[in-house]
């Protein structure tokens, strides 16, 4: 298997943590993609992922799987013991619900703020982010506000349970965790009164897969 990504970036980190949780790091070859240089927006990369995003999982038979949730589902179920995406219908339902919320209310919102209200990753990539769109910066700031509201939501969730989707660590935790990494890049600070979210984040920093992702 190959993973097309770039080390240290939030979405690639989601898959690298999943690989570490599943003990699959040794079965993967990483192919670095130049995001600041907009390599993922060029025809060669778009041929393997038309949405122009990373990471992308490339299987030995040539199949390409993109989207972090889909990649995590595949990796988590290879051994028949899905520890990240749920074993029962109830677990799967809650995990996927919280996963979607983590993406829409946190990572996607931070991405909107980062790419439209800040210089983002620089001028080469920004050329693909509608730089002349009227109202772009205001929309970006609104996305930043949405991300802060998302942090407050997950803080409330974590006041009543140890993990984002309940009693066990799951891909939803990975997504929120990397959302906070992205927030750091974008200089969006977690509100000081989000004490449960802050404590959860600190606790997960000691998790082996987070300390040493693939």
Q: Read off the pTM.
A: 0.92
Q: Domain residues of the chain, as ranges? A: 2-77, 89-211
Q: Are 13 and 110 in contact (CB under 8 A)?
A: no
> How far apart, in whole angstroms, are the C-alpha atoms of residue 10 and residue 41?
18
Condensed to tens digits (0 to 9), the pLDDT of residues 149-205 reads: 999 999 999 999 999 999 999 999 999 999 999 999 999 999 999 999 999 999 999
3-state secondary structure at position 11: helix
Condensed to tens digits (0 to 9), the pLDDT of residues 114-124 reads: 888 887 776 66
Task: Note the pLDDT of residue 8.
Answer: 87
What CATH number belongs to 2-77? 3.40.30.10
CATH 1.10.287.610 fits 89-211, yes or no: no
> How far apart, in whole angstroms, are the C-alpha atoms of residue 34 and residue 40?
7
Spell out the residues 6+ positions from residue 135 whose beta carbon is closer than 8 angstroms to its own. Answer: none
What are 19's two structure tokens? 């690989």
């Amino acid at each position: 298997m190959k993973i097309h990504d770039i080390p240290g970036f939030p979405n690639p980190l989601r898959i690298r943590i999943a690989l570490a949780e599943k003990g699959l790091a040794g079965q993967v070859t990483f192919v670095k993609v130049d995001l600041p240089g907009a390599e993922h927006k060029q025809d060669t990369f778009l041929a393997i992922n038309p949405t122009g995003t990373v990471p992308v999982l490339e299987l030995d038979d040539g199949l390409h799987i993109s989207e972090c949730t889909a990649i995590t589902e595949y990796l988590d179920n290879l051994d028949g013991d899905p520890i990240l995406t749920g074993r029962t219908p109830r677990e799967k339902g809650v995990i996927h619900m919280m996963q979607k919320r983590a993406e829409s209310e946190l990572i996607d919102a931070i991405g909107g703020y980062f790419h439209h209200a800040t210089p983002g990753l620089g001028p080469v990539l920004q050329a693909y982010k509608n730089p002349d769109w009227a109202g772009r910066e205001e929309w970006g700031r609104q996305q930043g506000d949405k991300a802060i509201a998302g942090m407050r939501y997950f803080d409330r969730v974590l006041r009543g349970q140890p993990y984002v989707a309940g009693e066990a660590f799951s891909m939803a935790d990975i997504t929120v965790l990397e959302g906070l990494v992205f927030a750091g890049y974008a200089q969006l600070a977690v509100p000081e009164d989000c004490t449960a979210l802050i404590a959860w984040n600190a606790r997960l920093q000691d998790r082996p897969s987070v300390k040493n992702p693939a």
